[in-house]
Amino acid sequence: MTKDLAIPVDTLRYVGSKRAKLLSQLGILTVGDLLYHFPRRYADRRQLKKLDEIIPGAQETVRVCISRWEEKQVRPRLSISRALIKDERGSGYAVWYNQPYIKKKLPPGTTVLLTGSVGRYGFWPELRVEDYEIEGEMDNLNVGRITPFYPSTAGLSQRWFRLIIYLALQEYAAAAPDILPLSLRQRYRLPGIEKALWGMHFPKDEDERRQSRRRFVYEELLLWELGLVLGNRNREKNVGIAHRGGSELVARFLAGLPFKLTAAQERVLGEIFADMESEKPMARLLQGDVGSGKTVVAAAALVKAIAGGWQGALMAPTEILAEQHYLNLRRYLTPLGIKIGLLTSSLNQREREEVLAGLEAGSLPLVVGTHALIQEGVNFRALGLVVIDEQHRFGVRQRASLQQKGDRCDLLVMTATPIPRTLALVAYGDLDISIIDELPPGRQKVITRVLTESQRHKAYALIERELAYGHQAYVICPLIEESEKLEAEAATAVFERLQREVFPSWRVSLLHGRLSAAEKEEVMQKFYRGESHILVATTVVEVGVDVPNATVMLIEDADRYGLAQLHQLRGRIGRGTAQSYCLLLTRSKDGAVRQRLKILEQTSNGFAIAEEDLRLRGPGEFFGERQHGLPEFRIAVLPDDMAALEQARKDARSLVDQGLIYRPEFQALLRVVDNKVKNLQL
């Protein structure tokens, strides 16, 4: 008989309403959730030492007898309880801070297991106790074993967690339903659910822990991959829009461009058009390095949709970028007689209403905008194609909410963040991928140099020279992740120093995230028109800004950025035909830091840089704290568990392809997947 684990967690002993509420903050509502609340780390407290063996400074575990207590109130908020402890080989002291009740729990004569760090008390070794266990009581949940430590929150102690999970395991583990069928478990020699649950929480040894973890990693990744595969199959069954025709208008659009598409652009455009023409809804990711010409490709797709009488929408993460797309598209599309609206939060009421009315009536075929596009009140008459730029800045939900303004319309998402193939499979497993792997001809490679503080004058000299040639320069200010305000202040300081002391005869301007949209616009316009020569900016220029006359970029404290982000920033220069220079200043004396930056001197291939960044920093850092669209795995860790992910991906595909997934043994697994697919609207 299996037991239902979906019962509320407060049915357990020692879980009252107060603690149940705290548990819910951790996402634990049911007994099942609790059993899947796995330790964050473990401490190996198995080895028992004798009192004459313990070493000051070390973390040790001993089995001793309490012999006598002394207590001291040192300050109003600091009490010390100290016990004289003995074993057959010696004696010493054990100390607890601010736990006056401990004396009652462990009266003289009690045999206890203690663990803690070793210090000295006079001539004696003294153990600062972190955990204790009365011998014979419970199963030594805290000491004398590999002890689990749980993700927790204020008010829930580790001791309590260990106890309730232990009790829950005793009551439920044997009867827990195993969603992994025996056939799969046997194939990979994975432990069954009961053994694996015990092995995660209270492993006998390292091997048991490893085997148990392996099982839950596979389970988690298989669920994820099945969700993607089944979500895709659902989408493929959907009938969407078949964008037919439009080739004449597209041809006119392409003929009107001042350049010919590269072979890579031609190829991806072919892939996109094939998707658009099919009646199955398109969901395609267009990846391409900065400057590879994604926007033109997207514009061609929009022209095709509009030619067939549908509306198009392009969403970008920042106002600057949205405006830039708007201006570019207007330049390309006005000659074709296609009207475009701009929708951002800085429009006034009248402008906004005009755009909204046009979209609703269908008289406005194309709109470019920011998050403002997904707000309520934005309605389309016939939305046929959604394009999302810098898609990693948006979450899955935001993507979906723009798409839902149409009826199963086509979706094209773009990113210049070169995502290593391995991660793309996870992050965008629900998308087909097109890659522009070639830059337009005539681009010169940006010369990149890592400079130390003592070489700063060289950087300034180079800027001076480029300005004298009539070019322009960017100075990127130190990244301050925690605070946009501090970042703006730091940028202001750099700006003032450069204008007054370093480049008094040139016009310097300042761009940061705290300026209003109108102020930003004005600063950018001045820089476009060449009225200012140096733009001091924070990373707000990271995306999209396109001033081909700018040929130098100086990045302050470059070591604070990830390589992929530096590469993005560097993409703002080298956009014209003149040789461009990127100077990475660092104050770090750390050789490894310098070495990391030097990767950028050697390569301009965004994918290679991203792979390297991922290898050096791991996916958490790689994607930063921003919304990255990567799924949050609870157990699996990428890229460590990449092999398991690839296996799970293969298995998910073949289970679905061969129809095995609909067999009775997979029923429980399928039910979990179905719930996930519904929640994510994949």
290 sits near ligand ADP (criterion: CB under 6 A): yes
Pairing mode of beta strands 146-149, 41-44: antiparallel
> Binder to ligand ADP among 294, 399, 572, 596 (CB under 6 A)?
294
415 sits near ligand ADP (criterion: CB under 6 A): no
Site residues for ligand ADP, 312-371, by CB under 6 A, read: none
Tell me how far apart the alpha carbons of residues 151 and 170 are, in angstroms, rounded to a whole number: 21
Phi and psi at residue 449, in whole multiples of 5°? -135, 140
Among the residue ranges 59-67, 175-183, 285-293, 444-452, the one whose residues contact ligand ADP (CB under 6 A): 285-293
> Binder to ligand ADP among 295, 318, 398, 532 (CB under 6 A)?
295
Phi and psi at residue 575, in whole multiples of 5°? -95, -10
Name the minimum Å distance from CB 389 to Mg ion: 6
Among the residue ranges 43-51, 81-89, 129-137, 290-298, the one whose residues contact ligand ADP (CB under 6 A): 290-298
Three state DSSP letters for 29-43 = CEHHHHHCCCCCEEE
Our CB check for Mg ion shows the closer of 341 and 571 to be 571
Q: Which does 557 bind (CB under 5 to 8 A by kind): Mg ion, ligand ADP, none?
A: none
Our CB check for Mg ion shows the closer of 322 and 609 to be 322
Name the minimum Å distance from CB 98 to Mg ion: 58
129 sits near ligand ADP (criterion: CB under 6 A): no
Q: Which does 288 bind (CB under 5 to 8 A by kind): ligand ADP, Mg ion, none?
A: ligand ADP
418 sits near ligand ADP (criterion: CB under 6 A): no
Our CB check for ligand ADP shows the closer of 246 and 288 to be 288
Candidates 169, 134, 127, 128; CA nearest to 148 is 169
Q: Which does 440 bind (CB under 5 to 8 A by kind): ligand ADP, Mg ion, none?
A: ligand ADP
Phi and psi at residue 282, in whole multiples of 5°? -75, 140
Among the residue ranges 98-106, 291-299, 335-343, 560-568, the one whose residues contact ligand ADP (CB under 6 A): 291-299
Binding string, 288-307, against Mg ion, x = CB under 5 A? -------x------------
Q: Which does 372 bind (CB under 5 to 8 A by kind): Mg ion, ligand ADP, none?
A: none
444 sits near ligand ADP (criterion: CB under 6 A): no
303 sits near ligand ADP (criterion: CB under 6 A): no
Our CB check for Mg ion shows the closer of 295 and 472 to be 295
> Binder to ligand ADP among 81, 265, 311, 448 (CB under 6 A)?
265
Residue 487: CB atoms within 10 A of its CB come to: 21
Site residues for Mg ion, 240-299, by CB under 5 A, read: 295
DSSP 537-599: E-GGGSSS---TTEEEEEETTGGGS-HHHHHHHHTTSS-SSS--EEEEEE----HHHHHHHHH
Name the minimum Å distance from CB 291 to Mg ion: 8
Minimal CB distance to Mg ion: which residue?
Answer: 295
Q: Which does 81 bind (CB under 5 to 8 A by kind): ligand ADP, Mg ion, none?
A: none
Our CB check for ligand ADP shows the closer of 69 and 607 to be 607
Our CB check for ligand ADP shows the closer of 14 and 259 to be 259
Token pair listed for 168 = 């829950």
> Binder to ligand ADP among 291, 341, 365, 629 (CB under 6 A)?
291
DSSP 661: G
> What separation in angstroms does the CA of 369 have from each of 111, 307, 355, 359, 394?
70, 21, 11, 13, 13
Our CB check for ligand ADP shows the closer of 265 and 434 to be 265
**What sign results for the dihedral spanned by CA atoms 104, 106, 108, 110?**
positive
Token pair listed for 118 = 């070793």
293 sits near ligand ADP (criterion: CB under 6 A): yes
Our CB check for Mg ion shows the closer of 295 and 403 to be 295
Q: For 99, how many CA atoms within 13 A lie in the half-sphere containing its CB?
A: 17
Reduced to 3 states (helix: H, G, I; strand: E, B; else coil), residue 388 is strand
119 sits near ligand ADP (criterion: CB under 6 A): no
Candidates 137, 142, 150; CA nearest to 61 is 142
Q: Which does 269 bind (CB under 5 to 8 A by kind): ligand ADP, Mg ion, none?
A: none
Name the minimum Å distance from CB 511 to ligand ADP: 19
Helix 294-307, helix 263-277: angle, nearest 10: 30
Pairing mode of beta strands 111-121, 59-75: antiparallel
Token pair listed for 447 = 């010369």
Query: Applying CB under 6 A, what is the total number of residues that bind ligand ADP?
Result: 16
Q: Which does 265 bind (CB under 5 to 8 A by kind): ligand ADP, Mg ion, none?
A: ligand ADP
576 sits near ligand ADP (criterion: CB under 6 A): no
Three state DSSP letters for 353-374 = HHHHHHHHHCCCCEEEECHHHH
Name the minimum Å distance from CB 319 to ligand ADP: 17
Classify residue 386 as exposed, middle or buried by CB count within 10 Å of its CB (0-12, 13-18, 19+): buried
Whether the bond between 478 and the residue before it is cis, its omega within 30 degrees of 0, is no
Name the minimum Å distance from CB 293 to Mg ion: 8
Are 301 and 412 in contact by the 8 Å Cβ rule? The answer is: yes
Among the residue ranges 126-134, 221-229, 294-302, 354-362, the one whose residues contact ligand ADP (CB under 6 A): 294-302
Site residues for ligand ADP, 642-671, by CB under 6 A, read: none
DSSP 214-241: HHHHHHHHHHHHHHHHHHHHHHHHS---
Reduced to 3 states (helix: H, G, I; strand: E, B; else coil), residue 530 is coil
Tell me how far apart the alpha carbons of residues 172 and 177 are, in angstroms, rounded to a whole number: 10
> Binder to ligand ADP among 12, 249, 296, 378 (CB under 6 A)?
296
Binding string, 511-550, against ligand ADP, x = CB under 6 A? -----------------------------------x----
Name the minimum Å distance from CB 211 to ligand ADP: 46
Name the minimum Å distance from CB 413 to ligand ADP: 13
149 sits near ligand ADP (criterion: CB under 6 A): no
Helix 206-237, helix 642-657: angle, nearest 10: 40
Residues, the chain: 682
Are 428 and 401 in contact by the 8 Å Cβ rule? The answer is: no
580 sits near ligand ADP (criterion: CB under 6 A): no
Q: Which does 533 bind (CB under 5 to 8 A by kind): Mg ion, ligand ADP, none?
A: none
- Give the list of residues 6+ apart from residue 364 with CB closer than 8 angstroms, or none: 311, 339, 340, 341, 355, 358
Q: Which helix (H) or strand (E) holds 95?
A: strand 90-97
Binding string, 243-262, against ligand ADP, x = CB under 6 A? ----------------x-xx
Binding site for ligand ADP (CB under 6 A): 259, 261-262, 265, 288, 290-296, 416, 440, 546, 575
Q: Which residues bind Mg ion (CB under 5 A)?
A: 295
